[in-house]
Chains A and B, each alone.
Chain A
Amino acid sequence: MKHNDDFSSVQYGIFHSQEIYELERDLIFSKAWTYLCLEAEIPNPGDFLTAEIGDIPVLVNRREDGVITAFENRCMHRGTKLRRENRGNAADHTCVYHQWCYSLDGRLTSVPFPRGVRGVGGLPADFDKSKVRLPPMRVEVMHGVVFGTFDPDNVPLEEYLGPEIVARLGNLFFKPIEIIGYQRQRVFGNWKLYNENLRDLNHGSLLHMFHATFGLARPNQVGGSMMDAKRRHNISRKVMGTDDKSLTVELYKDVKSYQEDFVLSDPSILKYTPEIPHEESLIIASVFPNVIFQQITNSLCSRQIRLRGVDEFELYWTYYGFKDDTPEMREHRRRQANLVGPGGLISMEDGEAVQLVHEQTRSRLEESSQIIIGGRGEIKDLPVGVTEIPVRGFWSYYFELMDSAQSA
């Protein structure tokens, strides 16, 4: 797929190719550190949940000794889905088809009728049960966030995340959390379009009228982008209340989506009680390739991208609060569900925007986008929101993984 040197021009065909989709599974999702879950979702020994990394089904559980392990959710006999339930608690995992039983460490512990009937049938004589295990992920936990990688030679998680992301996770998860619920959203477009959307600070103040009118995100607020050294991760940040009103009106004078006179009858969802130990009121921290950590005032969650083919992905939203939330704060977080998620007054447009691009580019695979807001050339952070440079950062790392492996 064609792109230019500074990734300000990327071919639309990249969103529609089955061949590239298969390569992404091998070169990206089978190699990178990927988000599995939050530790608080599996607090007790035996707790398990299933997830997809890209579209690779994995099973994550907490071992008897408290350590979190993860492996492919596929029986090593003939490929059956091993753990069928999405979540639960179990002492082991037994395949329904032929009852092969695996420990919480992913190791095969028993097979029925191993010696057949009076020595006829059963397992072959050279079968060594101790050598059979579910393909494991290396698991590390950072500030209560569980990541895994299928690549045994990968760098440590801390190095992969980089100091900017590690610091932010430390802030977003600075005290014990409690899971308060899930949302799932099916979006009909390629997963990379969503990664573009997240790193595109510019659209936040334009597509999402709610952001602009109520000052949750305006281009002239203190904030901007903060990428890691490899430009693959990005933190979009804003500090509420730091914009100049007259400058806001001036900037928006030709923009339809800004409505100065739009007043809410019940503005309680906009209330912001600062609680996170950093100055920002808005953080969208995207970690390549499959997760975003969100703070939109008091609405806190992770969004995992689960692939469902070239044309579709599921956004899996995991909302949390802090264990010491007052009932008022917990109710406030519930109300702020109105801002985000599939029904979010802010975020509903992202689902639509991704689909609009996916549909319209399908018939012109040779054409390219123009990723130019914020400037061309160097991939660098700007202290303002009128930038989509982190989108070029995403592509720079994406093509580093895809191009180097293909030429190797």
Chain B
Amino acid sequence: MVLARVIAFLSAHAQRLDVGDFDAWMAPFEEGATYQIVSAENLRLGMDMPLLLASSKNMIRDRILSLREANIYNIHVDHHVLGLPVIEEEGGAVLKVHTPIVVHQIDQDGVATLFCVGRYDDELVDEGESFAIRRREVVFENFGIRRLLATPV
């Protein structure tokens, strides 16, 4: 049943971020994929200025490379918890899926801070064995970003 497969895919995928395996996290994105992080404030105002935008997999690669080699950001571990996904319409090759998310960041002293409450708005390509990500929009309902936005959500 497709919902079970979607759940299995999304939860395994999110855990890759929590262990810092960015290459594995990047893998299911198509070469022409769009990955963007947006604020709910702009969405509601009908404005399309994102917080982060990758309009190709190469831009995702560049961001990961920059995080590894260049950027200075808060030392932390991410922790993603996904709610139950809602599939808009079953049966097609491309599924539109909406999944609520909560992300905490835990610092070196073991203090956890809420970082994101929001959702994934995804277009997932059903490849049978697994899924590819054609488009992911991460919506921050809590758009007052705490400190900075570095590791992918």
Contact = CB atoms under 8 A, between A and B. Distances in A.
Given A207-B72, A257-B70, A345-B66, A184 B53 contact: no
Interface stretch (B10-18, B93-101, B145-153): B145-153
A182 interface: yes
Given A213-B70, A264-B62, A348-B150, A181 B47 contact: yes
B51 A342 contact: yes
A343 B140 CA distance: 13
B62 A180 contact: no
Contacts of A13: none
A48 to B, nearest CB: 15
A334 interface: yes
A335 to B, nearest CB: 6
A184 B58 contact: no
Given A265-B58, A355-B147, A183 B51 contact: yes
Interface stretch (A24-32, A185-193, A236-244, A373-381): A185-193
- The CB with the most chain A CB atoms within 10 A, among B37, B56, B147, is that of B147
A335 B73 CA distance: 21
B62 A185 contact: no
What DSSP secondary structure best describes chain A's contact surface?
mixed
Contact of B48 (A184, A314, A334, A343): A334
A179 interface: yes
Contact of B42 (A182, A185, A265, A342): A182
Interface string A326-356: 0000000111011001110100110111010
A314 B144 contact: yes
**Range class of the A interface residue count:** 35 or more
Given A264-B62, A341-B51, A352-B148, A184 B73 contact: no
Contacts of A184: 39, 41, 143-145
Given A187-B147, A314-B144, A343-B52, A182 B69 contact: no
A266 B56 contact: yes
B148 A342 contact: yes
A305 to B, nearest CB: 14
Nearest to B74: A352
Contact of B63 (A207, A333, A338): A338
A209 B47 contact: no
A187 B74 CA distance: 12
Contact of B65 (A185, A188, A207, A262): A262
A71 interface: no
Contacts of A355: 74, 147
Interface in B16-70: 37, 39, 41-42, 45, 47-56, 58-59, 61-63, 65-66, 69-70
A101 to B, nearest CB: 27
A269 B59 CA distance: 9
Interface in B106-153: 143-150
B42 A181 contact: yes
Given A264-B62, A265-B61, A337 B70 contact: no
B41 A337 contact: no
A118 B52 CA distance: 63
7 contacts: A182-B39, A184-B144, A185-B145, A207-B72, A259-B69, A334-B48, A335-B53
Given A185-B145, A259-B69, A345-B63, 6 more contacts: A181-B47, A182-B42, A186-B145, A210-B66, A337-B49, A337-B53
